[in-house]
Amino acid sequence: QVETLKEKLLEQAQEISRLRSELGGTDAEKHRDLLAAENERLRQEMKACEGELRELRRQQQQAPCRDCPHLQENAGLQEQLSQLQREAEETRAKLVELDLEVQQKTNRLAEVELRLKDSLAERAEEEERLSRRLRDSQETIASLKSQPQQIKYIIKTVEVESTKAKQALCETQSRNQYLQEQVGMQKQVLKEMEQQLQNSQKTEAQLRAQIVMYEAELERAHGQMLEEMQAMEEEKNRAIEEAFSRAQVEMKAVHENLAGVRTNLLTLQPALRTLTHDYNSLKRQVRDFPLLLQETLRSDRAEISQAIEEVHSTNRELLRKYRRELQLRKKCHNELVRLKGNIRVFGRVRPITKEDGEGPEAASAVTFDADDDAVLHLLHKGKQVSFELDKVFPPQASQEEVFQEVQALVTSCIDGYNVCIFAYGQTGAGKTYTMEGTAANPGINQRALQLLFSEVRGKAADWDYAITVSAAEIYNEALRDLLGKEPQEKLEIKLCPDGSGQLYVPGLTEFRVQSVEDINKVFEFGHVKRVTECTNLNEHSSRSHALLIVTVRGLDRSTGLRTTGKLNLVDLAGSERVGRSGAEGSRLREAQHINKSLSALGDVIYALRSRQGHVPFRNSKLTYLLQDSLSGDSKTLMMVQVSPAEKNTSETLCSLKFAERVRSVELGPVSRKAELGSWPSQEHLEVPKRLLGDSPGSAAPPGRGHASPSPGQLSSRSASIRRKLHTSG
């Protein structure tokens, strides 16, 4: 047992030494030292990096471009850096912790070793003691063997002592057991510590790798920063160079400008001197100006007022002259009219129309004189009768040509004269055509108004004109308003209440017209009225007189002179005779009225032309209405319409006779008297005598009305002309 115990002890000692060498307290320490040195080196590097970082930061602060985009990047990098630093710090702290742990473990190891040593020493002592006792025991055994009694006793004692030894061995064995357990525990602890060491080594390696990574990162950031700084530097240099070159160019230009300005200054100086001089003289003038102005104004005012005075007096003189001229003109005009006669008679022969039919009946019975446009020949019952009028229009005469002869009369209306234009003749001879015309070829009415408008426009600078139009109809001696609301209403002709002796028709509609369009509207209106009022317009119109009364009122703005002229355009009823047997009832009454009014017109014209004291205006509505347009210095035109057809020759003869009689009235009391005889107007009408003469209510004073003249008494002039014409063929 002792032997085995010894062996075991030896084994234990060997195991302990092996463990020691294995554990290698020195190796761990070496490792720790190595780590500490590494740590120190890293710390140094970190410090260097921080220094570099500080330097970079300082440079960045000094860097010229503050708004550069690199700044942002830089800030990011810095942030990264600080992050890395923080991480490094943490790693460092961990490292310190690990160091501490390693230290503790080393301490514990040393302790364990110490304890191990103690126990080993104890064991050696025990072994020593045990071996000594063993020897003692063996000696005793030997001595005892020699002394059997004694030996037996000794054996007995030894046997007793052997149990004690056995007990001690057991104890030692249990102790050994405990120690072995301890060693196992220590081994376990060692293993754990090794594990821990390995872990900490792994962590350290990781940390180191991280540090390397961070360093690489740091390096990269640093490189980037450097590059950026380089680029910035280059940019800065470039900008500086550019600015420098630009500044040089500008400087050059400024230098040049300066030179120019300098030369300008040199040339300007004398100019400035003259300017100053001028300015001074101007200042003087300005100082003197109000005085001068007042002086000039005074003299100018005097001059102007003198001039105005002169102009005034000239104006007065001119006005006086103008008025005198006006009067003279009027006098001359009157004289002219007196010489020419203010009653004129024209004849118009219409062309042969389809209505005239065919054959000998439709042949033309009228011929003209190539040399004299006032003469007309009519072949009646195989005999040629010649007539002399103021003017004869052949069938081919246009509306325009007719109007040209009439327009002087129309314009005199603007000067304040009253004018009457009558169309006389048998039905179908062209009265309406001459007065109204057609839409394509208007007659006197439309043309007269057009002319009035254009004349008035021409005088608009000095005169204000108002043109009004009335349209009336006389049928069976009843006057009707064609433009009124009640065309059936019979109108009366009355004396003006102002005592002027003027006549007027109360209720007669007057339209103010300002353009030809207005006129057309008025005509259209009147025409429509007439059409709706009667069943057969043609028949009706041939038995009534149609009047268009145009009034022209003027005001001379400069003199205040007022004029009123009236233009009466009359389409008379047909002058044809109505057969004795055929005329009955209303037709007879119509014929009587027409006859009465036409002969009354003849009478009036006769009385006017022969300058009779009394003119029988009141014998018919027509003459009474036109009284103021027929008397005084009024002008009258009788347009006698003639049909050239063979079948109409007897009516044509009558019309031409009427025309010639009107025209050939010789002025002067004797001839007047003589003329009276040749005035049997419409004598061919089979109408009771009382209808032809003055009406019982006539205003004609006794003895001054015209008696029916005897047919034999023709005026000498008329007779002589007719004779001449007859003889000349």
- What residues make contact with ligand ADP under the rule CB under 6 A? 350-351, 353, 425, 427-433, 542, 641
- The least CB distance from residue 682 to ligand ADP, in Å, is 17
- Total residue count of the chain as it appears in this document: 729
- Return the structure tokens found at 452: 């009035």
35 binds, among ligand ADP, Mg ion, none (CB under 5 to 8 A by kind): none
Does the annotation flag 719 for ligand binding? no
3-state class of 63 per DSSP?
coil
360-367 long-range contacts, CB within 8 A, separation 24+: 360/646, 361/645, 361/646, 361/647, 362/645, 362/646, 362/647, 363/645, 363/646, 364/395, 364/644, 364/645, 364/646, 365/644, 365/645, 365/646, 365/648, 365/649, 365/652, 366/642, 366/644, 366/652
351 binds, among Mg ion, ligand ADP, none (CB under 5 to 8 A by kind): ligand ADP
641 binds, among ligand ADP, Mg ion, none (CB under 5 to 8 A by kind): ligand ADP
554 binds, among Mg ion, ligand ADP, none (CB under 5 to 8 A by kind): none
Q: DSSP string of 658-691?
A: HHHHHHTPPSSHHHHHHHHHT--TTTTS---HHH
Does the annotation flag 347 for ligand binding? no
For 126, 330, 548, 570, the CA distances from 175, given in Å and listed in that order, are 11, 182, 172, 177
3-state helix, strand, coil in the chain (%, to 5): 65, 10, 20
- The least CB distance from residue 572 to Mg ion, in Å, is 9
Q: Which residue is nearest to ligand ADP (CB)?
A: 430
Q: Measured from the CB atom, is 214 or 523 closer to ligand ADP?
A: 523
429 binds, among ligand ADP, Mg ion, none (CB under 5 to 8 A by kind): ligand ADP
- The least CB distance from residue 433 to ligand ADP, in Å, is 3
- The least CB distance from residue 635 to Mg ion, in Å, is 23
3-state class of 643 per DSSP?
coil
Q: Measured from the CB atom, is 351 or 669 closer to ligand ADP?
A: 351
Does the annotation flag 427 for ligand binding? yes
Q: Measured from the CB atom, is 430 or 554 closer to ligand ADP?
A: 430
Name the residues that contact Mg ion, by CB under 5 A.
431-432
State how far the Cα of 160 lies from the Cα of 150, in Å rounded to an integer.
14
Does the annotation flag 306 for ligand binding? no
- The least CB distance from residue 438 to ligand ADP, in Å, is 7
Q: Measured from the CB atom, is 350 or 431 closer to Mg ion?
A: 431
For the CA atoms of 550, 607, 602, 696, the dihedral, rounded to the nearest 10 degrees, stands at 100
Does the annotation flag 430 for ligand binding? yes
- The least CB distance from residue 435 to ligand ADP, in Å, is 8
- The least CB distance from residue 562 to Mg ion, in Å, is 36
Q: Measured from the CB atom, is 431 or 447 closer to Mg ion?
A: 431
Q: Measured from the CB atom, is 412 or 427 closer to ligand ADP?
A: 427
Q: Measured from the CB atom, is 513 or 569 closer to ligand ADP?
A: 569
Q: Measured from the CB atom, is 344 or 350 closer to ligand ADP?
A: 350
Does the annotation flag 426 for ligand binding? yes
- The least CB distance from residue 685 to Mg ion, in Å, is 19
Contact 432, 541 (CB under 8 A): yes
595 binds, among Mg ion, ligand ADP, none (CB under 5 to 8 A by kind): none
353 binds, among Mg ion, ligand ADP, none (CB under 5 to 8 A by kind): ligand ADP
91 binds, among ligand ADP, Mg ion, none (CB under 5 to 8 A by kind): none
3-state class of 588 per DSSP?
helix
Does the annotation flag 167 for ligand binding? no
β-bridge mates for residue 384, sequence order: 379
- Residues 6 or more apart from 388 whose CB is under 8 A from it? 372, 374, 375, 660, 663, 721, 722, 725
- Angle (CA) 254-260-265 rounded to 5° is 120
Does the annotation flag 357 for ligand binding? no
The enclosing H or E element of 233 equals helix 148-340
Task: Give the count of beta carbons closer than 10 Å to the beta carbon of residue 613.
Answer: 8
Annotated binding-site positions for ATP: 425-432
Annotated binding-site positions: 425-432
